[in-house]
Amino acid sequence: MPGYGPSAATRRSVTAVLGGMSQPRLLIVGAGAVGGYFGGRLAQAGRDVTFLVRDRRAQQLRQRGLEIVSPHGDAKIDPEITTKAELTEPFDLVLLAVKHYVLNAAIADVAPAIGENTVILPVLNGIRHLDLLRTAFGETHVLGGVCIVATTLDADDRIVQLNDMQELSYGEVDGTLSERIRTIDRTMQGAGFNARLSSSIELEMWEKWVFIAALGGITCLMRGTIGEVQHAPRGRDLTIAMLDECVAVATAAGYAPRPLARDRAFNVLTDANSNLASSMYRDLQKGQQLEAGAIIGDMCDRGEAAGVKVPLLSAAFAQLSIYEQKRA
């Protein structure tokens, strides 16, 4: 596995900054379904949270507040808001929760918030964003992160949680349990969601990617929920083949999913009674922009580079690319 990770000096520097504050300053980039949920819970728990959002969303939040509708309890907060034009000083921790297709714009927008000791926690899907963030800000600033939550924005732009899953995992990419990641862990604990410090975060990122690529690939390719696909002729076989392709790519890259993760993915993806559909499929049904390139396309590219054949993933990506071309 790649040996990325911050130097000891950088860790000490960031630890000194974060550890010396009773309330580290958090910047949440994006107040959509994911950033709005975790940032909202952190703000509700009394953390020092500011949201970096576009002008329209800023006006909306300042007028109506940020609303969460959840089986864990509804919430309405009046968040601290900043826009690109108003952002002028560094933050201690930046939680990056945007879609891949706006990542380059988000990198440009957030640049003033990245100081010498700022730590970036991205919770995007896939792996590609790590390289983009390292190129933009340097690898010592970038952590690994995984979020597991099913949320969406309703017609009133409220954040609606669709089930009771709500976990945020984070860690140094090289697995080191540094003082700075322990400081961040203390900040995340007790904020109304499951917060977990990981010593194998990049493997967890790959395990999630395998699952969502298989889920997104099969539901978008077949245009149905998991249960509907399983009841279709050859649907179960196609689902298993799609998962096998994703596992093969991850294994070739040096991140073979652990048995528990693979078994869990298999059981969820082959549940004939499931109404589960990927967020990509829901976006497809709404005619919205997709993360197909980062989730499906990048998996295809890495498979090709490793000599792994991925015909079903390729078919799904080709179909979604046609959709994107027509949409554009």
Q: Which residues are catalytic?
A: 208
Q: Which two tokens stand for residue 138?
A: 């340097």
Distance CA 272, CA 22 (A): 49
Q: How far is CA 215 from CA 162, 172, 231, in A?
A: 17, 27, 16
Looking at residue 224, the DSSP 8-state letter turns out to be S
Q: How many CA atoms lie within 13 A of 252 on its CB side?
A: 18
Q: How far is CA 139 from CA 5, 10, 92, 255, in A?
A: 7, 11, 16, 20
Nearest residue to 292 via CA among 233, 240, 221, 226: 221
Nearest residue to 170 via CA among 225, 68, 94, 230: 94
Provide the 3-class DSSP secondary structure of residue 80.
Answer: strand
| Inter-residue contact 250 to 206 (CB < 8 Å) | yes
